Structure 1
Amino acid sequence: MAELERVPPGVDPTVPSSARVYDYLLGGKDHLAIDRAVADRLLAVAPDTRLVARANRLFLTRAVRHLAEQGVRQFIDLGTGIPTSPSVHEVARAVNPACRVIYVDYDPVVRLHAQVLLADVPGVEGIQADARRPKDILGDPYVGGLIDFEQPLGVLMVGLLHYVMDEEDPAGIVAAFRDRMAPGSHLVLTHGMAESHPEAIARLTTATANSPAQAVFRDRARVLRLFDGFELIGPGLVPVQDWRVDDEDDLNLLDAPPRLRIDGGVGVLR
């Protein structure tokens, strides 16, 4: 007899979660059968997607390290996902221990992890909130108590906005944060691209239709418009595995363009 899965309180085991699908692709342990089914359908037509997920995570760590080296000491990580080490605060504090981080996600599984992992970490907070309601996040007392909006800030939207439908105004979400950010602040963003293989897009769209894991694949011009008001730093908007790769990044297995393409970029507010 098969062992029943343990389902955390508040989680519907019939609905896939983008955070848990990503966790599965990264080799984590916090996912359910429905999440594995979604990921496996994608892997069937795009078997390099695990490497793309890893490249997306490495992009995040490279970008956070760069921001910390530029003097950014505070970060808001939107759509945090299930914690993976090294986390944003670990990367930033390796550069400067004074860095402060707010983690934001609406998934109850992510919230449970944050409560356990961040309980005794000063200067780091996790809140459960929906990125599609930026005013709620910007007005949250934990955010206001930790983030000084008069100082440079790093806002991370890594693997987030392709889960925001057009009618939910992804550009408006970016603008709400941009309007509160001081000069010298940065936007870090990755997005699933319409230039991906059509079969991979179709398979993922079918598997996640009408669920929180449903994604919109936008073309390069539309993703670039999300950076309106920011100046892209080199090398611009590129596939995540190509953004400022260093010798520590073991991505040599991605020796051909992946079927599922994710591009990333970093913009600075002047």
Structure 2
Amino acid sequence: MTDTGYGTDGVHTGKAHSARMYDYFLNGKDHYPVDAAAAEQVLKVLPDGRRLARANRGFMRRAARHLARQGIRQFLDVGTGIPTEPNLHQVVQEITPDARIVYVDNDPVVLRHAEALLRGTPAGRTEYVQADVREPAKIVAEAREVLDFREPVALSLIALLHFLPDEADPQEALRTLLEPLPPGSALMLAHGTGDFDPEALGRVTEIYRASGMSLRLRSRTEVHALFEGLELAEPGVVPLEEWDLEPEGAGADTAGVPVYVGVAHKA
């Protein structure tokens, strides 16, 4: 029998995927040898890769908690990745039990685990959409089935847009996702950068590209441009370690992480 590179569930097991590599960085168990091999190449160049992944997840939780405490009860999380507790819905439903969350990812492995693990509170609602960020209109249409777009929605894009090359027009994808959201909605975003260590991050970019994935790390100015038309909350677009709007703070484990983050509101 010819090896097609696909598992019995239709998952491509012969090609690395960013979500499964991320799972490897987080010491998860839901990845394949090809993902582990690519991730290990990254770790040889960027030994702090595991800390970076944890820091991204930490920002997601702190930003989601911050927005939930401001009264936002609906979240659209694009680029969910393989579930790692506490997940976004667990964070926000602890504050607002009837919060609604839609998770979006393009990897069938994420879908399989989401169906098994992403269970919300009885009062709230948690759903999963299989789609790619390159299909923002599809994401919006399916999210409308769960979320009430007459009420504010927080759009979460954590460690995702740096996988979109310039020709895929991440700003246009972002505009399409934000346009139907009402005033009072918010964007929470984390984006990788090569500003802090151009040589090492350049080598990481090549590893991803050699594995068939795009990686477009952007400067602070370029990440700031993604927030065009929104009102940035203080402290603006900053290195992850400087985003400190929650009482528990970012923590020492975020120092030097090559990621810019920001939270903004739609007027």
TM-score past 0.5 threshold: yes
**C-alpha separation between the residues in 2 aligned to 1:243 and 1:8?**
43
Q: Show the counterpart of 2:3.
A: none
Mapping 1:47-66, distance limit 5 Å = 47-66=47-66
**C-alpha separation between the residues in 2 aligned to 1:120 and 1:159?**
23
2:259 partner amino acid: I
2:126 to 124, 133, 157: 124
Q: Show the counterpart of 2:81.
A: 81
- CA distance change for structure 1 residues 198 and 104 in 2, over 3 Å: closer, same or farther? same
Q: Does structure 1 conserve the Cα–Cα contact (< 8 Å) formed by 2:55 and 2:254? A: no
Q: Show the counterpart of 1:3.
A: none
- Which digits, 9 at most, give the CA deviation of each residue in 1:48-101, with x for residues without a partner? 121111111000000000110011000000000000111111000111101000
1:219 partner amino acid: S
Q: Does structure 2 conserve the Cα–Cα contact (< 8 Å) formed by 1:186 and 1:269? A: yes
- CA distance change for structure 1 residues 191 and 120 in 2, over 3 Å: closer, same or farther? closer
Mapping 1:159-238, distance limit 5 Å = 159-209=159-209, 211=211, 213-238=213-238
What stretches of structure 1 move > 3 A for 4+ residues in a row? 118-122, 210-213, 245-251
Q: Does structure 1 conserve the Cα–Cα contact (< 8 Å) formed by 2:241 and 2:250? A: no
1:267 partner amino acid: A
Question: For 1:16, what is the secondary structure of its paired residue?
Answer: coil
Q: Show the counterpart of 2:115.
A: 115
Q: Show the counterpart of 1:241.
A: 241
Q: Which deviates further from its counterpart, 238-247 or 145-154?
A: 238-247
Q: Does structure 1 conserve the Cα–Cα contact (< 8 Å) formed by 2:20 and 2:32? A: yes
Structure number with the bigger relative contact order (C-alpha 8 A, sep ≥ 6) is 1
1:206 partner amino acid: E
Q: Does structure 1 conserve the Cα–Cα contact (< 8 Å) formed by 2:194 and 2:202? A: no
Question: For 1:167, what is the secondary structure of its paired residue?
Answer: helix
Q: CA deviation at 1:125?
A: 0.2
2:28 partner amino acid: G
**C-alpha separation between the residues in 2 aligned to 1:169 and 1:68?**
29
Q: Which deviates further from its counterpart, 213-222 or 183-192?
A: 213-222
Q: Does structure 2 conserve the Cα–Cα contact (< 8 Å) formed by 1:79 and 1:157? A: yes
Q: Does structure 2 conserve the Cα–Cα contact (< 8 Å) formed by 1:56 and 1:241? A: no
Q: Does structure 1 conserve the Cα–Cα contact (< 8 Å) formed by 2:103 and 2:127? A: yes
**C-alpha separation between the residues in 1 aligned to 2:17 and 2:208?**
9
Q: Which deviates further from its counterpart, 66-75 or 33-42?
A: 33-42
Q: Show the counterpart of 1:265.
A: 262
Q: Show the counterpart of 2:11.
A: 11
- CA distance change for structure 1 residues 66 and 246 in 2, over 3 Å: closer, same or farther? closer
Q: Does structure 2 conserve the Cα–Cα contact (< 8 Å) formed by 1:38 and 1:204? A: no
Q: CA deviation at 1:225?
A: 0.7
Q: Does structure 1 conserve the Cα–Cα contact (< 8 Å) formed by 2:90 and 2:120? A: no
**C-alpha separation between the residues in 2 aligned to 1:183 and 1:42?**
40
1:157 matched to 2:173 = no
Q: Which deviates further from its counterpart, 74-83 or 229-238?
A: 229-238
**C-alpha separation between the residues in 1 aligned to 2:210 and 2:135?**
19
Q: Show the counterpart of 2:144.
A: 144
2:261 partner amino acid: G
Q: Does structure 2 conserve the Cα–Cα contact (< 8 Å) formed by 1:64 and 1:88? A: yes
**C-alpha separation between the residues in 1 aligned to 2:26 and 2:63?**
19
- Which digits, 9 at most, give the CA deviation of each residue in 1:170-227, with x for residues without a partner? 0001101221111111001111113042232232222221656421011111111110
**C-alpha separation between the residues in 1 aligned to 2:243 and 2:250?**
13
TM-score (norm 1): 0.90
Identity %: 41
**C-alpha separation between the residues in 2 aligned to 1:254 and 1:85?**
19
